[in-house]
Structure 1
Amino acid sequence: MLVQGIHHVAYRCRDVQETIRFYKDALDMDLILAISEDHVPSTKEPNPYMHIFLDAGRGNVLAFFELPDSAPQGRDENTPAWVQHLAFQVEDVATLERSKAKLQAMGIEVLGPTNHEIFQSIYLHDPNGHRIELAANTVKPGQLERLRELAPLMIEEWGRTHRAVKHAAWLHEKEFAQATE
């Protein structure tokens, strides 16, 4: 395989200092390095920036750009806010629960936990408005294999119908049944 992993994922931020503080205080991520230039190296266009890199664990890197001379950041209004997000894995459900309590104690609004059957998640927003998901795996033996087997069938049906495909509905059936009782 050509790709060996994700080198880093980069997003825009309003203020690098605020962003560094949030990710350090809320998610225990440390600043790895910073790069600042007056011109974009790849395109040579003038656009001063500060580019920061944060340690997201296990060799994963989350990066941000502060662009003071660019228009204020926005988002694609045609895409629902819940679609674009950063999802970080935590060790287990107990860690997820401790994280939720810590974030709420910091005054951060947290949604969840949501049971996705193969993992549980909580959701929050960073100071830049980026949606963050913290996820703890809860997968049971055979579930991932079953989902992988179903994936091609689901993609084929979706391609024909562009309607929700029910092959893996078993993931959330218990949750919906409990919610309607």
Structure 2
Amino acid sequence: MQADQERAPISIVYYCVFPKEISVEIDQQQEMITARAARLANNRIRGWHHHAVRTRDMVATRRFYEEVLQLPLVGTWVERFDVIKQTPSNYVHCFFELGDGSALAFFQFQEGMRDEPMPMPKDPYEHHVALGVDSIEMVDWFRKRLEESGASILMVDHGYCYSCYTQDPNGMIVEISTIVPNGIPILETAEKTAAVDLARWLDGIRASNNRWRGTTKT
């Protein structure tokens, strides 16, 4: 009986053999991932440091970015000199931190120190800032938070990424976006023809090459 209790457990090993077509596809996707990693590593510009705009209302701006989007305020720099006009001034420069250490930043000047901020474009084709998250589920999580805050939203399935658009208190259009589960192969395929695709469009060939648009959740 004692010998039975001390007997070593039996190990069972399962082997999975993929069809040749699937094995080739897996190899191709791995090559794409490796090529992308090498290309990114070779880029001397490592990412955003910050993106900055002016605001009339830092209180509302902070409420939106800290409470709704959960970006912590990590820096408030009080400055007394306008480096553009080279004149005395007074303003704050506030930084809201993203997960990679970069930031969205906002200036608010003391009243009378500058003209009113220029209005932000209302059309996302003119200007918007896109913030990346890890999954479609996280985009939808932020969509719910934005809706609960009373913000208007627009959902767009670009095919290679999935996005929720809204406006911050300054009128800046903000996109919450993620690369879709099969997005890396899609993007790497596009990278191989990007220069040719641009040249064709500039030459007047207007046919769409995005066959993935609208397919993420179907």
TM bucket normalised to smaller: 0.7 to 0.9
Indicate conservation of the 8 Å contact 2:163/2:178, yes or no: yes
Query: 2: distance between equivalents of 1:7 and 1:32?
Result: 14
Query: 2: distance between equivalents of 1:70 and 1:120?
Result: 39
Moved runs in structure 1, 4+ residues, more than 4 A? none
Q: Describe the SS at the equivalent of 1:4.
A: coil
The answer for unaligned runs of 5 or more in structure 1 is none
Query: 1: distance between equivalents of 2:152 and 2:199?
Result: 38
Within 5 Å, give how 1:75-90 maps onto structure 2.
75=119, 81-83=123-125, 84-90=127-133
The answer to whether residue 143 in structure 2 is matched with residue 100 in structure 1 is yes
Indicate conservation of the 8 Å contact 1:157/1:165, yes or no: no
Worse-matched range after superposition: 39-48 or 149-158? 39-48
The answer for unaligned runs of 5 or more in structure 2 is 1-42
Which residue identity is paired with 1:136?
A: T
Structure ID, larger Rg: 2
Corresponding residue of 1:73: 117
Higher strand share: 1
Corresponding residue of 2:100: 58
Indicate conservation of the 8 Å contact 2:93/2:108, yes or no: yes
Within 5 Å, give how 1:157-172 maps onto structure 2.
157-161=200-204, 164=206, 166=208, 168-172=209-213
Which residue identity is paired with 1:46?
A: P
Corresponding residue of 1:127: 169
- The CA RMSD measured in Å over matched residues stands at 2.4
Query: 1: distance between equivalents of 2:135 and 2:195?
Result: 30
> Between the two proteins, what is the percent identity of the paired residues?
25
Equivalent of 2:178 in 114, 136, 140: 136
Query: 2: distance between equivalents of 1:43 and 1:71?
Result: 12
- After superposition, what is the alpha-carbon deviation per residue over 1:99-147, rounded to whole angstroms, capped at 9, x for unaligned? 11111111111111x1111111011000000000000220515211211
Which residue identity is paired with 2:107?
A: F
Cα deviation, residue 172, structure 1: 2.3
Corresponding residue of 2:72: 30
Indicate conservation of the 8 Å contact 2:54/2:108, yes or no: yes
- After superposition, what is the alpha-carbon deviation per residue over 1:22-71, rounded to whole angstroms, capped at 9, x for unaligned? 10011001111111222124652334221001111121211111123322
Query: 1: distance between equivalents of 2:88 and 2:206?
Result: 45
Query: 1: distance between equivalents of 2:158 and 2:181?
Result: 9
